[in-house]
Amino acid sequence: MKTNTINKKEIEKFSRIAEEWWNPMGKFKPLHKFNPMRISYIKENIINTFKLKNQDKPLKNLKILDIGCGGGLLSEPMCRLGADVTGIDASEKNIQVAKLHAKKNNLDIKYLSTSPENFETNSKFDVILNMEIIEHVEDVDFFLESCSSLLRKKGIMFVATINKTLKSYLFAIIGAEYILQWLPIGTHEWDKFVNPDDLINISKKYNLYLENLDGMKFNLFKDEWSLSSDKSINYIGKFIKD
C-alpha cells in the first residue's frame, strides 16, 4: 500500500534554501527567469479552454491548486489574475516563506504544508499546477493518481518537467549546475527525470489525457525563455481530465 510521494532528501534540500525564494538574483534566479513564460502559458491555456471573458481578472472564481508551490512564485501571479489559489508544499519552511510574502502583499492565498495524497479537501479544483515538481517526487505514478483525485472532470493539469535524455543531462545538470552555476549542485538527479511518453502513459491510467505538449528553451543571448518544438530538455504538458 502506497502512503506518500514525499522524498525526504529532496524536501530537506529545498528547505535549506527556502529563504532564497523571492531573491531574483539568488539560488532561484532560473525560476524567476522562467516565470513570465510559465505564467503566460498557463493563463492563455486556461482562458482558451474555459472560454473566459473577464479582462481585468481573467481567472476569477477558478479554483487552482499549486502543488510543490515553494515560496509562491506561481501562486501569487495566479491570485493576482483573480483565481482562488491553494498552494501546497511538503516543506514547512517553504510554506512559511510563502505565507509571509503573501501577507506582505495583501494576497489571500491558502498555503498548507502537505502533499497531494495527504491533502484533505471536500472540493475539487479546476486547475492543478505541477510545475518543476514531478522530477522531485518519490513515486510519479502515485503522485499523478493523487493529483487526478483532486481535479474536477474536464479540469486542466499542467506539468512542466525535464526530459530524460543525454541532452538534458549535459544541459540541465552539467551545464546549469556545474558550469553556469545557475542552480546549486545536486538540485536535479538525472535518474528522476521523466520522458514525455512515460508521463502521458501514466497520466492516462488516471483519466488525464494530453492536449498539448510543448518544449521550452532558454536563449542565452536574449536572456529569456520561450516555447519551442524541441522537447529534449524542458517541456510542458497540458492534460484534461476525462
Query: Which pLDDT tens digit goes with each residue over 173-183?
Result: 898 878 878 77
Percent of the chain with pLDDT over 70: 99
pLDDT tier, 2 (very low <50, low <70, confident <90, very high otherwise):
low
- Cα dihedral 127, 232, 72, 89, rounded to 10, equals 80
Domains within the chain, CATH numbers bracketed: 8-241 (3.40.50.150)
Q: What is the largest CA-CA distance in the chain?
A: 49
The single residue listed with the C-alpha cell 541532452 is 167
Q: Looking at residue 3, what is its pLDDT?
A: 62
Percent of the chain with pLDDT over 90: 76
pTM: 0.92
Mean pLDDT of 32-38: 94
Q: Cα–chain-centroid distance for residue 126?
A: 15
Instruction: Compute the distance between CA of residue 2 and CA of residue 82 in angstroms, rounded to an integer.
Output: 36
Q: How far is CA 39 from CA 110, 137, 185, 188, in A?
A: 19, 23, 27, 23
Average pLDDT score, the chain: 93
Query: Which pLDDT tens digit goes with each residue over 123-174?
Result: 999 999 999 999 999 999 999 999 999 999 999 999 999 999 999 989 888 9
Q: How far is CA 174 from CA 63, 159, 183, in A?
A: 38, 23, 10
